[in-house]
Amino acid sequence: MKICFFNRSYWPDQAATGQLLTELAEDLVHQYGNDVTVVAGRALHAAADARGRRLGPVAREQHHGVAIRRANGTRLRPRRFAARAANYVSYAAAATVASFDIGRPDVVVSLTDPPIVGLTALWAARRAGARFVFVCEDIFPEVASLIEDFQSPAVNASLDRVNRYLLRHADAIVALGDRMRRRLVEEKGADPARVHMIHNWADCEAIAPGPKDNAFTRAHGLGDRFVVMHSGNVGLSQNLDVLIAAADRLRGKDRLTIAIVGDGAKREALERACLERRLENVRFFPYQPKALLHDSFAAADAFVVSLKAGLEGFIVPSKLYGILAAGRAYVAAADPSCEAAAIAHKERCGIVAAPGDPEALARAIAALYDDPDETRAMGERARRVRTAIKRAFDVLLAGAGLLASAPLWVAIAAAIKIEDGGHVFFPQERVGLGGRVFTALKFRSMVVDAEAQSGPVQAGEDDPRITRIGRVLRGTAMDELPQLWNIFVGDMSFVGPRPLRPGEVEARGDGRFVRLDEIPGYEARHSVRPGLTGITQVYAARDIDRARKFRLDRLYLKRAGFWFDLRLILMSFWITARGGWERRDRV
């Protein structure tokens, strides 16, 4: 498809919405083969805007396969309302000009930065005969109430009319959480049939559990400190004044450091407040580029996710998903109905504190500080939320499968013995979770000592080493029945990337052999248990190169979930029933 996004924040902007949209747009190009254009503004929060200032209202750029129409509005520091308004209005005007240079997309998607850009996106969609999708990153005019230096009932009423107009005319509406979905339907009149809930996400390759002893920690002298971090926009919605007030109450915690990482409209005021209070336990750090997020997140022992009371559902804190990916505990200083608070309570991976209450926030931070073992356990639960559910499902299904397939084991073993008298099972070393090597079991489908001459080379479709019974076993995947035991004991899962052999090589078309661990994406596959089936096994032809298979494996890491796993399992049963594993292309 041809897809066009409208949003002011995009690469190289380091604001959360810009980073998320960049990841989405680039994945739509590289993982799904779509033609993607983004009508973006000039970066406000970037380490460096390599493109610089361009003459004219719109500049054309290309980045990682995504076409960018850079709407050249103002780029004033958003400290006061006048600067923010100038940035919004100038971007919206330039984006309107850019909308005539996007071709004829199939789908036009508008985010809410700024809230009025949805009108331009809707009109562009109607001109092109395209579908219009409205992604509600924020809900207006309620979010506009955060503005401290300007309030206008007339402006708020206009924003409300714009928001409701876009909700009525959108072909699809995206809410970021259940509380936001209910707000849109119950308070804004959105058609529930057109509202789809899609949570924000984190790049689990860029952010993963890491050691506290890292380059960021050493550079800033945080190694012996208990670090509680706020990372992201230092803006109006987070109510970080309460965090400063809590830090004042925590002066007695000698090793405690409150780290505020990022920039935004409130940073200067917060820095002044710390100077006035003479707080030595609060430190400010600049935005961290994505390449450094792994270390900066790992430097924290815990995080704070805060939201002003009454804004739950109008805003969904996107930083939560990075914290979960990093495997760190957090304090959710938010209403209990907020996603961050609900997950902390349900999964026991954080502490909930009343929003706007510095005493409650100080008590929650002190609880984490005073019990570092429980804080680490909360972090482990944060990263393992999905893993625990998946493991229980694996044990239940593998146990049932072992019992149900017992007669087949006897019949297959007898057939293998009758054909050539060789051993029944073929044990192989495979690389599993975290790079750990385990022994995977299969029914033998090739001649005895098949790899004595070739070494560890993957079998081809017409490989002469495959026995007659082996062809039947491989076509129905019955040769892998013994791996139910590997799943039951925890070496594998039902769904995940296929486990590879240590030192395995692949023959390239030019006759060269290359080690699989040298192909990009190899290491990322080991962040989850390997699987008996998966997106690569179901959807990829056998003869595609490993680099493309690894890209599909990485796609699975991003999309993994219970219902997606169940779908892949059912599709695998269908291929098995057809005996089509050896000749599959696409299902």
Q: Which CATH superfamily is domain 215-383 in?
A: Glycogen Phosphorylase B; (3.40.50.2000)
Which pLDDT belongs to residue 112?
A: 94
Q: Which residues fall within 8 angstroms of residue 522, CB to CB, at 6 or more apart?
A: 500, 516, 550
Q: Which runs of consecutive H residues, i.e. helices, occur in 421-541? A: 468-476, 483-489, 535-539
Whether 51 shows a pLDDT value over 70: the answer reads no
- What is the average pLDDT across 282-287? 95
Q: Where in the chain is the domain with CATH 3.40.50.2000?
A: 2-197, 215-383
Distance, in Å, from the CA atom of 581 to the CA atom of 587, rounded to the nearest integer, reads 11
Distance, in Å, from the CA atom of 568 to the CA atom of 575, rounded to the nearest integer, reads 11
Higher pLDDT, 431 or 511: 431
| pLDDT tens string 146-163 | 766 567 888 899 999 999
Whether 252 shows a pLDDT value over 70: the answer reads yes
| pLDDT tens string 495-553 | 888 888 887 766 555 556 677 777 777 777 777 788 888 888 888 776 677 788 888 88
* Residue 487 pLDDT level (bands cut at 50, 70, 90): very high
Which pLDDT belongs to residue 546?
A: 79
When mean pLDDT is compared across 193-197, 471-475, 499-503, 524-528, the lowest value belongs to 524-528
Please tell me which of 188-202, 285-299, 364-378 the model is most confident about, judged by mean pLDDT: 364-378
Q: Write the Ramachandran bin of 212: left for phi over 0, alpha for psi from -120 to 50, otherwise beta.
A: alpha
Whether 272 shows a pLDDT value over 90: the answer reads yes
Indicate the pTM of the whole model: 0.67
Q: Which runs of consecutive H residues, i.e. helices, occur in 99-209? A: 117-128, 153-169, 178-182
Closest CA to 502 of 425, 439, 445, 426: 439
Higher pLDDT, 53 or 22: 22
Q: Does domain 2-197 have CATH number 3.40.50.150?
A: no
Q: Which residues fall within 8 angstroms of residue 583, CB to CB, at 6 or more apart?
A: 461, 475
Please tell me which of 246-255, 310-319, 426-435, 541-550 the model is most confident about, judged by mean pLDDT: 246-255
Output b/e per residue, 152-163; b: 16+ Cβ within 10 A.
Answer: eeeebeebbebb
Phi, psi (rounded to 5 degrees) for 22: -60, -45
Higher pLDDT, 127 or 288: 127
Distance, in Å, from the CA atom of 300 to the CA atom of 406, rounded to the nearest integer, reads 50
When mean pLDDT is compared across 268-272, 373-377, 428-432, 516-520, the lowest value belongs to 516-520
